[in-house]
Amino acid sequence: MITLSRPSSRLLLYTAALCLTPAAMVAGGKEMASRPVQPVNRNDGAQLDTCGQQAAQRLMGLVVTPQARTELQKSIRHDRMRIVRPGAVITQDVRPDRLNLIVDDSGRLVAARCG
């Protein structure tokens, strides 16, 4: 255990601890930049389509253009969707009514998920 009696030594220790925080944040950022992983399906029953992901299946393998997105919005009857690109930083909040369109580097749709 480190015991420091002088106030200047404590200040030095606190400053050193604060300097470690940005390094840990940078190291954690590499993990966030990885490609999205297919979630584990925890229920064995039929999965509810709460966001319109079944309608997005017809776009699988196609480049998601603004026109394709507009057409998809009409077919699922809402505009709560986001395009997730490789390495994108996205919020981790789960919204069952939001459609996530996961695209590859060229913009082709590789997966569609609610959340």
- The structural domain count of the chain equals 1
Domain of 104: which CATH number?
3.30.10.10
9, part of any domain: no
68, part of any domain: yes
55, part of any domain: yes
Nearest 10 degrees: Cα torsion 91, 95, 97, 101: 30
Higher confidence at residue 84 or residue 59?
84
Alpha helices by DSSP H, 1-115 = 7-32, 53-56, 66-76
The residue range of the domain holding 66 is 50-114
User: Among 14-18, 76-80, 99-103, 106-110, which stretch is predicted with the lowest mean pLDDT?
Assistant: 14-18
pTM surpassing 0.85? no
